[in-house]
Structures are given as structure tokens and as C-alpha cells.
């Protein structure tokens, strides 16, 4: 939808109010009318290039393959998995483009396209398609085309022959989708066979048990429009029932919904909640259903959800997924590009400030990579590098321009236009980006590119008299198809309302707040939108100028320098608060800094905060190097012999393990102090070994220097964020300290808490643990080449060698007992009995020190206590049981490492 407004409940009459800011001062480079016209014409030329190549090289196929200049026909090309469920051999791109042709004043081409659809397209194909995609693209396209045909016919110039044929096709398709709704919950199956429905073996579907929230909740606009166009209420009734069920299944404490749900039981399968993929258009359709249909119930539900989104998910400018049952706990540390629609929805809501902030963040990410990556991290790096020419960012840009009339958004649109021409345009159309970092292409041009992208860009640059109809008379679906607002007054049969509490409750007037806000109160100063954008630009853009350490004469020094900042220092946190800088604690232990100048205690403090952020981004810029792949910590000593591999994060300084064919091999020992932030007190034990350190209290480079001074040959930093794991957190790289790190010449690796505990428990159990630090896991035969090991190991015959391992371990461990300190190195001698070791551990626990990671679990402690009187550890006598348990627990870590090594970067 292109503007904000609401329906007057008393008269059900649409009353649209543009959110215009108080007269903007034209910036220095205000776009002239001639420039806008030129860009408008460029949009039309680009559309022609894409559309004509589809018609010349692909039609009647569903989509164009622009690199090979041919059509994509399902079954003839290699399967792409779920992506191909949008293809139904029904000339998808042509149907999806119908109303775009009219909007761009191509009425002659539109008339020809309608005739082609009526003569060539069949909807009874024996093919399984996505209910969601077919609804928004094909049913929506047919209804949008019908709306345009009726508008042209009533104008008396074009389409005089048209007798609602597209509407008849739409009803036929709607009836073919209805079998998917035959569930006890009313939620549709995710797929349906266009000829056979969902029942019976010939359908090749109907066995699915779950669907995404957006898939079930993005039906109402198209189905309600179909019902009101045809007078048959069955479609709207089914869509409303699905929405009612989703509303009933929301988490009642957080008022959030999960990402996927069981269509039979209503149980949430994925309980993470956000505004991106899997949920996005569910929220959009609640708001737009209110606008199109005039039912206040939809607005009430939307506002309840929206309040929770702003409370838990929105951390301006970020939008981070959370768990619906624990909404204060982030579910992931990256964002997907589909959330780019949300600023546009916030414009419809009337909540402009967070829309400006999030949009600006997205724009800065776009400028860094030319396109919005399919997913990016909270520090704005690429997570998934693809970009299938999605239109959501252009959509929000258009909404914000309509709301603010700020010429800034015209320049944003120009950037989008130029990047499409420079990087995505190919001789046969526009190709999706396979990797935004390298500029490589993928042989695909999705139908939504023609359906949405060119609509929003054309409307952004067009003047009112450039449009063939009044755009304010229509609402956009999620696929940007045009449905007339006059449907709100169309008759609808009265049906029994769903049994839900919301339907019978008196509507709360507070839920309608901000639907039509007074923009003069929101923005008393025309410069306010720019004030919102500037801090976001600084936070994302790592190329901001280096600030001078001293402020203007008489203003004093910055109260806190970026290179001195520590996230666990209470004094630093208080200084940040005074400067309007807030911290977002991420699940993997990192923190994200965001500044809101309005939250600073004074204008001077806000300036301090601005310059602190500039310093921090400059420091980050200095630290950032080319993204490094994961590293490996491989346990090579008895009884593991290389079978346990832990995924490790690299450091951006020190020895580059990828350039070493052998890696760094040595026994591990715990540094004292464990933080490694001071000169080590157990240097004699660390010398010649790999030191274990705890994350926090100082910079990584400082830890490396301290263990290097003690004679360590390597270091492993273990995360202090309990529960963190490489299974759920993105790869973590340790940065330098803003100064030269050329003096660090040993390798330093990072382990999350789960993997670090594996090392600590092994050290506690076996006293002597040898590891190999490398860029990847080594073959076990090569690890022990030239050493006397049981033949079964060298033969690679699995795990049959453990019976002889105890003897081999004794042979390996006895030559240098003096250099083998126990994990608890508060005692200077390695000959101290086990009783003192246990007592020391208990004393440290009483002090509340962070050494619990070194201590074994309760069961392990009891086992150790029972064998204290024995000269040999029990593990040497019977390692099989413990080894099997460890291997069972750690197999997933090995799998995770292999997967990250293959795919992560």
C-alpha cells in the first residue's frame, strides 16, 4: 500500500491522509522536475528491457533465465527445491506483470497480454504448487489485471470487449486452491496439486504437517477480493478462519507468533519470531485487510502485535528475531532482506521515526554491497550473499517519500536504479546476484521483479499526471497487485464469526493510536528526519572520517575513547548512557552499539556520543580484514587420537594457520590469571604449551601478548557467555586492538562456551591433553605418522584400538612429567595429590570466581573422589565407556565444523 489512512468505522468510507511533513527546506542538490522525469523514463526503459526479453525468449514459460536467454520450465531444468513451487506452467511472469503494464501507461501491451493469457494459459495442470506463491502471484495477478481491465473498459477507450474473463479464471484458480484449506484448523496445506487437490496418491502432496505463518496468513486480501468481486463468500470465509486460528495460537504473554506452525495441532514448530521471512506479510495483511475491508478487528489485532514488535523485536535501527516464549532472548544475530518491507508498513501505521531509522540502516548496508544481501549480520556483514532482485527496499523507499516528501528518498531511488543497471543488467534482461561481494550472477529473473520493482520505482519518480488512474483508489497486495478500495463497500454474506475472544470484546480505542498522526507534532523541525538518519549512517558506514582526539578549544577531551572501551566496565556503560549510546547484547556474546542523540543528557554529551561512535567505527574499520574461514582445534592425545574436532574462530592477527601445512601442536594448560589480562603467574607451566584463556576484561591482542611473553606456542580463548555454541552462533573472529599487532607471532583461536568446556573437561579428566591448531582437521594417519601406535588406528579401522590405548598413553606421557601441570595451577608442583586439587577448586567456588568452567560436572567430581587413593586414573583402565559418551556428544560439533568449513563463507 502506498499511503497511510484509515476507514471511518461509522460510514465505512475511505478517508486518506498523506503524511506530509511541515514544509521541507530543499537541500543543496534538490532533484529537479527534469531529473525526475529522466529517471521515470529510465524506469520504463528498464521495464521494457526485462519484459520484452521475457516475451521474446521465455514465454510461455513461467520465468526468464536471463543468462542463457531461455525460459525456465519446471521439470526441464535442475530442481531448485522449494523455489520451484512457484512455477505451475501457467506463464507466471506474464500474469504477474499485467497491472504493471497499465500503471506504466502500456495499455496496448496490456490488452495484448490479456488476450494471450485467455488463449494460452491453463490452470488445470497436474503439478504441485505453493499455495502461498500461487495466491499472491497468480490469483493476485489475475485480480489486479481484472481491476485494470474494468477501469479501462469503464473509461471507454480500451478493453471494450472484456467480459470479466480474468475474473472467471481467478475464480477457477481459487476453487483449485480451496482443497488445501481442508484441515481441522483451517490453516492451509503449504502445497496443492492444481488438478487433483491434496487427497490421494495422485496429488503427490497432502502429507505435510507444517506451514509458515506468512504462508497461512497472507491469503485474506486476494480471497476477500475474489469473494467480493464474485459474490461468493466461501473464499473470504476460509481466509478469515485461517487468520482467526493464527491469532488464537499467538503466545499470550508476548503476543508474538512463531515462524512455522503445525497445520493440524496448532503447535508452533519454530518458535522464533521476527518481521522477516516466514512471518512478514502476516502482519502486512492484518493492516491492509483493515484498510481494504473496513473491519476494525484486523486493526486491533495488528496494533496488539505491533506493540509487541516494538517492545521486543525492534531495537532501532535493528529488527532482531526473538523467542516467542522468551521475547527478551534474541533468536539469531542476523537479519534477512525480507524485513525491508517493514519501514513501509510502519508508514501505514503512522510510526515514522523508526521507519526512517530502519530504512536508513538498510540503505547504508545497500551502499556497502550495492544490493541488500539476502541476510546480513548485526554488524552489517554479509551472512547470505545472494540477492534475487527483491523489491522490498524500493517499496519502503517509496512509502517514506510519500509520507515525508523528503527529496533524500528520490536520491535513494536513484541509487537503486543505477545499481540495477550497473550490476544486474545483462543482454537478456536482469539477472539475480549470486554473490553481492563478487558481483557474480545467477540465471534467474523472478516474476516479482516485474510485478513489484518497476511499480514502486515508477511511482517514486512519476508526477500525478503521469499516472493513468488515481493511485489513491487502490491498495497494493504484498506482490504489489492493485485492488480497488471500493471493495470495502461490496456486499459480503453474513457468516458465523469464529469463536475467539477478540471478536466479542469491545474494541479498545487506544489500539487506534497513531493510525493518522499529526505530523506537525511528530516533526516540528524539518531537519528531524535527517537527524534520525545521520547516527545510523555513522553506525553502518565504516569509512567515516577519523575524528580528532581533542574537541574544539575549551570543550575538553572525549570522556571515553573507543580503544579504551570495555563492555563489562560499569563506568564505561554509564558514560555511554550519558552520551545516548545504548548496548544491544547479542546471543553470541557480542554487543551492538547504537546512538540516539535525543537520549543524551545534553547537547554536548550527544556530540560526545556521536564522536565516540565515529571513533568506534574507525577502530572497527582498522580491525576488519577479509573474512576468514573457520579453524579447527583437533584433540590428538589419548583417548581421542584426532577424532574430536572443535570448530574455532580465527584471529585477525598472529600466525595464519591457513599458510601452515602442519599447524601448531602442543599440550594445553590453563593460564593464570584465566583472563590473560595480566602477566601470567604460572609462566613456567605455560612455556612451550598452548594456553587456555577466558574471554573478557581486555582486548584479544593483549591476551596474546601476555601468553607469548610467558613462552606459549599458541592460545585458545574460551567464550565466557554460558551456553554459546558454534551450532547456533555465527563464526566469530577476534579483532586487534586498533594498534599494530605485528608483534603477535603465535596463533590464537576462539572457542564458544560449549566447545571450550569440552577441552576443559578433557583436561580435568586426563591431565595431559594434546591438541592441534589448524585451518582444518587432519587425517588421523597423518597425525601419527612415524609414531608407534596400534595398527588398527593406522589402518583406519574405526574405534577398535581403545583396548591398547592406556599403555600407549603411559609411554607418551612419562618422558616429561614435570611439564605437565594439572588444570588447577594454583599449586606450583605437579606432584601435589588430588586432594589438594579438589580443595583448591572448592575454595575458588566459595570465592565466587569465574573458574567453574574448569571444574568437572558433579558426576565427574564424585568419580574422581572415589579414585583418589589409587595411583592410576580410572580412565586409563576403562576408557571405552567415557570415550563413547564423549564421541556421541561431540559428533555434532564435528559435523558443524565440516559444514562451516564447506559453506559458511
For residue 318, the cross-strand partners are 315
Q: By the 8 A CB rule, do 474 and 483 touch?
A: yes
Residue 649 CA: distances (Å) to CA of 629, 703, 748, 886: 8, 16, 9, 22
Helix (H, G, I), strand (E, B) or coil at 852: coil
What is the three-state SS of 409-439? HHHHHHHHHHHHHHHHEECCEECEEEECCCC
In sequence order, what E strands does 290-418 have? Answer: 314-315, 318-319, 322-323, 334-336, 375-377, 382-384
d(CA 384, CA 322): 20
Question: CA triplet 279, 282, 284: central angle to 5 degrees?
Answer: 115
Question: C-alpha distances in angstroms, 341 versus 131, 280, 408, 415, 529?
Answer: 21, 8, 18, 18, 19
Q: Is 374 a catalytic residue?
A: yes
Give the C-alpha separation, 729 to 56, whole Å. 46
Considering only CA atoms, which of 735, 733, 704 is closest in space to residue 619? 735
CA distance 19 to 16: 10
CA 275 from centroid of its chain's CA atoms: 10
* 3-state SS assignment for residue 268: strand
Q: How far is CA 887 from CA 566, 642, 792, 811, in A?
A: 37, 11, 18, 24
Cα–Cα distance, 395 to 413 (Å, whole number): 10
Q: What angle do CA 595, 597, 601 make, to 5 degrees?
A: 110
Strands 714-718 and 690-694: parallel
Determine how many CB atoms are found less than 10 A away from the CB of residue 755.
26
Which residue has 521515470 as its cell numbers? Answer: 40
Q: How many angstroms separate the CA atoms of 169 and 664, rounded?
A: 68
What's the chain's Rg over C-alpha atoms?
31
770 has catalytic annotation: no
For 270, list phi and psi in degrees, rounded to 5: -115, 120
Q: Where are the beta strands (DSSP E) in 467-532?
A: 474-476, 482-484
Q: Of the residues 85, 96, 392, 588, which is catalytic?
A: 392
β-strands 334-336, 375-377: how paired? antiparallel
What nine digits make up the cell of 577? 548512557
Residue with cell 562451516: 900
Among residues 162, 189, 157, 158, which one has the least CA distance to residue 176?
A: 189
Residue with cell 577466558: 694
User: How far is the C-alpha of 118 from the C-alpha of 63, rounded, in Å?
Assistant: 18
- CA-CA-CA-CA torsion for 321, 325, 326, 331, nearest 10 degrees? -30
Give yes or no: 892 in active site. Answer: no
φ/ψ (deg, to 5) at 226: -60, -40
Catalytic residue chosen out of the listed positions 109, 133, 295, 588: 133
What span, in angstroms and rounded, lies between the C-alpha atoms of 206 and 188?
Answer: 10
DSSP H/E element including 261:
strand 260-262
- Distance linking the first and last C-alpha atoms of the chain: 37
Residue in 316, 229, 311, 209 with CA at minimum distance from that of residue 269: 209
Decide if 210 is catalytic: no
- Of the candidates 99, 280, 321, 442, the residue annotated as catalytic is 280
* Of 374, 442, 446, 672, catalytic: 374
Going by C-beta distance under 8 Å and a sequence separation of 6 or more, which residues neighbour residue 600? 578, 579, 580, 606, 608, 609
Q: Give the C-alpha separation, 59 to 788, whole Å.
A: 69
> Which residues carry out catalysis?
133, 280, 374, 392
Amino acid at each position: 500500500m502506498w499511503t497511510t489512512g484509515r476507514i471511518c468505522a461509522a460510514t465505512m468510507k475511505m478517508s486518506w491522509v498523506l503524511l506530509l511533513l511541515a514544509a521541507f527546506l530543499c537541500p543543496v542538490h534538490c532533484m529537479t522536475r527534469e531529473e525526475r522525469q529522466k529517471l521515470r523514463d529510465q524506469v520504463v526503459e528498464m521495464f521494457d528491457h526485462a519484459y520484452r526479453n521475457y516475451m521474446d525468449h521465455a514465454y510461455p514459460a513461467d520465468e526468464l533465465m536471463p543468462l542463457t536467454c531461455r525460459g525456465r520450465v519446471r521439470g526441464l531444468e535442475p530442481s531448485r527445491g522449494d523455489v520451484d513451487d512457484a512455477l505451475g506452467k501457467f506463464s507466471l511472469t506474464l500474469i504477474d506483470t499485467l497491472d504493471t503494464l497499465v500503471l506504466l501507461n502500456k495499455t496496448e501491451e496490456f490488452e495484448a497480454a490479456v488476450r494471450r493469457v485467455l488463449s494460452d494459459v491453463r490452470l488445470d495442470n497436474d503439478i504441485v504448487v505453493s499455495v502461498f506463491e500461487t495466491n499472491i502471484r497468480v490469483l493476485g495477478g489475475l485480480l489486479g489485471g481484472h481491476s485494470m481491465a474494468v477501469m479501462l473498459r469503464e473509461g471507454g477507450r480500451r478493453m471494450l470487449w472484456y467480459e470479466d474473463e480474468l475474473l472467471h479464471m481467478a475464480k477457477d484458480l481459487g476453487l483449485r486452491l480451496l482443497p488445501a484449506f481442508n484441515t481441522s484448523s483451517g490453516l492451509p496445506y503449504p502445497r496443492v496439486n492444481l488438478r487433483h487437490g491434496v487427497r490421494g496418491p495422485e496429488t503427490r502432496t497432502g502429507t505435510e504437517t507444517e506451514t509458515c505463518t506468512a504462508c497461512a496468513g497472507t491469503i485474506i486480501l486476494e480471497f476477500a477480493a475474489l469473494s467480493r468481486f464474485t459474490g461468493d463468500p466461501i473464499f473470504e470465509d476460509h481466509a478469515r478462519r485461517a487468520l482467526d486460528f493464527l491469532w488464537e495460537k499467538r503466545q499470550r504473554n508476548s503476543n508474538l507468533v512463531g515462524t512455522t506452525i503445525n497445520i493440524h495441532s496448532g503447535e508452533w514448530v519454530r518458535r522464533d519470531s521476527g518481521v522477516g521471512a516466514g512471518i512478514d506479510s502476516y502482519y502486512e495483511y492484518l493492516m491492509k485487510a483493515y484498510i481494504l475491508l473496513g473491519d476494525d478487528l484486523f486493526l486491533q489485532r495488528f496494533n496488539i502485535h505491533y506493540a509487541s514488535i516494538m517492545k521486543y523485536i525492534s531495537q532501532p535501527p535493528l529488527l532482531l528475531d526473538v523467542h516467542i516464549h522468551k521475547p527478551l532472548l534474541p533468536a539469531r544475530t542476523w537479519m534477512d532482506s525480507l524485513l525491508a518491507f517493514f519501514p513501509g508498513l510502519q508508514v501505514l501505521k503512522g510510526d515514522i521515526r523508526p521507519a526512517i531509522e530502519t530504512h536508513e540502516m538498510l540503505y547504508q548496508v545497500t551502499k556497502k554491497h550495492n544490493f541488500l544481501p539476502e541476510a546480513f549480520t548485526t554488524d552489517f556483514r554479509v551472512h547470505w550473499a545472494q540477492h534475487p532482485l527483491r523489491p522490498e527496499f524500493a517499496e519502503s523507499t517509496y512509502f517514506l517519500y510519500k509520507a515525508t516528501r523528503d527529496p533524500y528518498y528520490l536520491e535513494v531511488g536513484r541509487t537503486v536504479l543505477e545499481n540495477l543497471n550497473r550490476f544486474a543488467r545483462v543482454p537478456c534482461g536482469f539477472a539475480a546476484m549470486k554473490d553481492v561481494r563478487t558481483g557474480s550472477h545467477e540465471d534467474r529473473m523472478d516474476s516479482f521483479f516485474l510485478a513489484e520493482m518497476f511499480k514502486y520505482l515508477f511511482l517514486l519518480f512519476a508526477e500525478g499526471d503521469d499516472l493513468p488512474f488515481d493511485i489513491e483508489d487502490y491498495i497494493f497486495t504484498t506482490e504489489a497487485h492493485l485492488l480497488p478500495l471500493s471493495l470495502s463497500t461490496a456486499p459480503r454474506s453474513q457468516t458465523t464469526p469464529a469463536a475467539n475472544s477478540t471478536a466479542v470484546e469491545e474494541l479498545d480505542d487506544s489500539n487506534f493510536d497513531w493510525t493518522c498522526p499529526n505530523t506537525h507534532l511528530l516533526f516540528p523541525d524539518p531537519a528531524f528526519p535527517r537527524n534520525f538518519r545521520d547516527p545510523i549512517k555513522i553506525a553502518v558506514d565504516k569509512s567515516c572520517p577519523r575524528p580528532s582526539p581533542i574537541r574544539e578549544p575549551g570543550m575538553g577531551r572525549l570522556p571515553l575513547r573507543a580503544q579504551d572501551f570495555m563492555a563489562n566496565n560499569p563506568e564505561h556503560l554509564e558514560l555511554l548512557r550519558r552520551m545516548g549510546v545504548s548496548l544491544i547484547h547479542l546471543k553470541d556474546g557480542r554487543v551492538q552499539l547504537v546512538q540516539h542523540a535525543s537520549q543524551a543528557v545534553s547537547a554536548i554529551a550527544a556530540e560526545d556520543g556521536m564522536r565516540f561512535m565515529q571513533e568506534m567505527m574507525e577502530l572497527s574499520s582498522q580491525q576488519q580484514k577479509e573474512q576468514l574461514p573457520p579453524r579447527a582445534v583437533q584433540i590428538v592425545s589419548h583417548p581421542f587420537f584426532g577424532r574430536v574436532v572443535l570448530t574455532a574462530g580465527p584471529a585477525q592477527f598472529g600466525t595464519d594457520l591457513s599458510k601452515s601445512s602442519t599447524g601448531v601442536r602442543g599440550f594445553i594448560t590453563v593460564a593464570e590469571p584465566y583472563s590473560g589480562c595480566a602477566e601470567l603467574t604460572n609462566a613456567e607451566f605455560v612455556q612451550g604449551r598452548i594456553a587456555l584463556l577466558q574471554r573478557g576484561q581486555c582486548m584479544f591482542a593483549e591476551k596474546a601478548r601476555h601468553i607469548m611473553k610467558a613462552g606459549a606456542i599458541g592460545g585458545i580463548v574460551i567464550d565466557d557467555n554460558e551456553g554459546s555454541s558454534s551450532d547456533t552462533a555465527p563464526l566469530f573472529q577476534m579483532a586487534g586492538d586498533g594498534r599494530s599487532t605485528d608483534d603477535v607471532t603465535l596463533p590464537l583461536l576462539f572457542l564458544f562456551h560449549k566447545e571450550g568446556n569440552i577441552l576443559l573437561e578433557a583436561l580435568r579428566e586426563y591431565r595431559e591433553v594434546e591438541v592441534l591448531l589448524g585451518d582444518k582437521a587432519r587425517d588421523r594417519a597423518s597425525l601419527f605418522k612415524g609414531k608407534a601406535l596400534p595398527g588398527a588406528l593406522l589402518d583406519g579401522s574405526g574405534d577398535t584400538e581403545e583396548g591398547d590405548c592406556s599403555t600407549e598413553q603411559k609411554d607418551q606421557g612419562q618422558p616429561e612429567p614435570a611439564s605437565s601441570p594439572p588444570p588447577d595451577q594454583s599449586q606450583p608442583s605437579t606432584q601435589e595429590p588430588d586432594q589438594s586439587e579438589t580443595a583448591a577448586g572448592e575454595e575458588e567456588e566459595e570465592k565466587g570466581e569465574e573458574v567453574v568452567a574448569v571444574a568437572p560436572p558433579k558426576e565427574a567430581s564424585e568419580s574422581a573422589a572415589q579414585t583418589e587413593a589409587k595411583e592410576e586414573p580410572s580412565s586409563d583402565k576403562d576408557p571405552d565407556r567415557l570415550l563413547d559418551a564423549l564421541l556421541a556428544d561431540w559428533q555434532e560439533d564435528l559435523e558443524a565444523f565440516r559444514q562451516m568449513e564447506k559453506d559458511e563463507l
